[in-house]
Structure 1
Amino acid sequence: MPEGPLTERERQEVLRSHMPDGRITAIPVRRPARLVLLDQVARAFEPGVRYSEAEVNAVLRGFSANVSVLRRGLLDEGFLECDRTRYWRCGGTVEV
């Protein structure tokens, strides 16, 4: 898979192979594929809503047991931001 933006077909293939039942089976090494997964996870967070760490963890548990890796990925890639006590969605695809 090339290192660049993915086509819709490639995005769907990433989701089929890494989230076949809605739960993440493996986090891709390649950044474009990893971003597809993180974007899918970010959609579970409502824009404009502030979440506690416990609430974020509860949402992430629906995708993987390794919530700390997912949370760190969402923060590092700009899908979530946080202050000392709250998290909020700041990136990713928004359904309209």
Structure 2
Amino acid sequence: MQAMTVTNEEKQKVLSNYFKQGLDGPLSQFPSKEKRKLIILEAIADRFETETRYTEKEVNAVLQTMYEDFALIRRALIDYGFLARSLDCTEYWVAEEEQS
């Protein structure tokens, strides 16, 4: 996937448009545009501790507080590489960033 350039100003604008009550609040809607989606998913992934293993139920509990279709968000976090999961889908964790 090609890396996208996002300015800090652009990132803040997207986050304030989709998290109207702040980053700890609910997500108003899930964007369809790729760039916005990546910004939103990165912010959501920040709600998870990097050294912690989570069950699907624990991941869902975090995501349910921010968006009604939490399964959509969980799948997107996996698909876009922000979270990883075990082959049997019993454990989830924050994916390590690729070393370049």
TM-score range, shorter chain: 0.7 to 0.9
In structure 2, C-alpha distance between the alignment counterparts of 1:37 and 1:56, rounded to whole Å: 16
- Does 2:33 match 1:42? no
| TM-score normalised by L of structure 2 | 0.84
5+ long unaligned stretches in structure 2? none
Match of 1:56 in 2: 59
Aligned residues: 90
Moved over 3 A (4+): none
Residue 91 of structure 1 and its aligned partner are, at CA, apart by: 4.7
Aligned residues with identical type, % of pairs: 35
Match of 1:66 in 2: 69
Query: Which secondary structure state, in structure 2, belongs to the residue aligned with residue 50 of structure 1?
Result: coil
Query: Which secondary structure state, in structure 1, belongs to the residue aligned with residue 68 of structure 2?
Result: coil
Match of 2:12 in 1: 12
- Superposed CA RMSD: 1.6
Higher relative contact order (CA 8 A, sep 6+): 1
Match of 1:27 in 2: 30
Deviation per CA, 1:21-77: give whole Å up to 9, x if none: 121111111111111110110011100210000000000012111110000010000
In structure 2, C-alpha distance between the alignment counterparts of 1:23 and 1:9, rounded to whole Å: 21
5+ long unaligned stretches in structure 1? none
